[in-house]
Homo-oligomer: A and B are copies of this chain.
Amino acid sequence: MRFIDCEDVVDIATGSALLGAGGGGDPYMGKLETITAIRECGPVQLLDADEVPDEWTVASIGSVGAPSVVLEKGVNGSEYAIAHDFLQRILGKKIDAFVLAEAGGLNSLVPIAAAARVGIPVVNVDGMGRAFPGLQQDTYCLNGVPTTPMVFVDEKGNRSVIETIDNDWAETIGRAITSASGGAIINMGASMTGAKMKQCAVRGTVDLAQRLGAIIRQATSVSAECGMTPQEYFLHESGAYLFMHAKIADVLRETRDGFNFGRAVLEGIGQDRTKTGSVVYQNENLYAEVDGDVVISVPDLVCLVDADTFLPITTESLHYGKRVLLVGLSCDKAWRTTEGLALGGPAWFGFDIDYIPVEEQWKRIFCATMP
């Protein structure tokens, strides 16, 4: 157990944005909201999974919708208590702690801000080990936790709760509510016992995010002490696989059905100047191609980071001319099972792509061409 204070929030936001794989919301919004909540309500108790009593009820909380809309609408801070009260009323029992729905610049922090405002602990776990666009794409659902009853509360104070016959209907109806409320909303669901959470959550997410955030923050200053360039330090310490040095040559965007859809076109720079590539996204980056070859795909993490600062670039902040590194991170092992791939793999998104783990892809491409 430890307490999360304002100074922890900055690294958690940065590292979560990397885990968000382009999605999971803007880390700046997440920081602002969470630092305000902690200043007003005090530090938040962070429990490790094993510290949660089996008989507790925990629920996940996050922001749903198009990240570009969240940037404009924001949250007003009162949604969390409204959602917590409403879900407790429906369940007829107390919700003792929040878990993260997903890792992301905003969505790792919403549960922390909510925990501060509601006055309950947050658990050091999430349901993805990354971010995914679908409400039902998490390891909670993968392990039989019904995602509903799920509550939606918008910044105006409108609230809804849905109970659906399956998790796919939760996504369909929940997304419609999100769109009707303007394209972004706070949601709370996947309520489960502490015992169930221990079986199915991805553990240590907040710690991992904070560690990744510290690596990114320190890369430019401490790398020399370790005899590495900043880029080497970032890649080595984070476990990210580098596929391309690039400049963003074009961004195609569409905001539709409560999602951001699009494609970033990459033009190689430096040692990769002869290459071209692209990243296709739906809130999160879904797959990346280099010279017509798919090099990283869901459920692994497809990330674009700033070429100099290694700060993760979320899909809503992609813009022409930005110099980036295209990197991949291995997903949690839960996503590499048959069931995991069915819910989080390329086919779920309608892509005819054979999933090959990112570390194998990297070896195939770079170890063969090494001298």
Contacts and interface: CB of A to CB of B under 8 A. Distances in A.
Interface in A154-190: 156-165, 169, 172-173, 175-177, 179-181
Contacts of A2: none
Contact of A165 (B156, B161, B180): B156
B177 A156 contact: no
A162 to B, nearest CB: 4
B159 A163 contact: yes
A173 B161 contact: no
A347 interface: no
A164 B169 contact: no
Contacts of A172: 180
Contacts of A252: none
A315 B281 CA distance: 42
Contact of A173 (B164, B175, B181): B181
A90 interface: yes
A89 interface: yes
A175 to B, nearest CB: 7
Given A89-B90, A90-B89, A158 B173 contact: yes
Contact of A160 (B86, B157, B173, B175): B173
Nearest to A163: B159
A159 B157 contact: no
Interface in A166-220: 169, 172-173, 175-177, 179-181
Contacts of A163: 86, 158-160
Contacts of A86: 163
Interface of A: 86, 89-90, 156-165, 169, 172-173, 175-177, 179-181
Given A172-B180, A173-B180, A176-B180, 7 more contacts: A156-B169, A157-B165, A158-B162, A160-B160, A160-B162, A160-B163, A173-B177
11 contacts: A158-B162, A158-B164, A158-B165, A159-B162, A160-B160, A160-B162, A160-B173, A173-B180, A175-B180, A176-B176, A176-B177
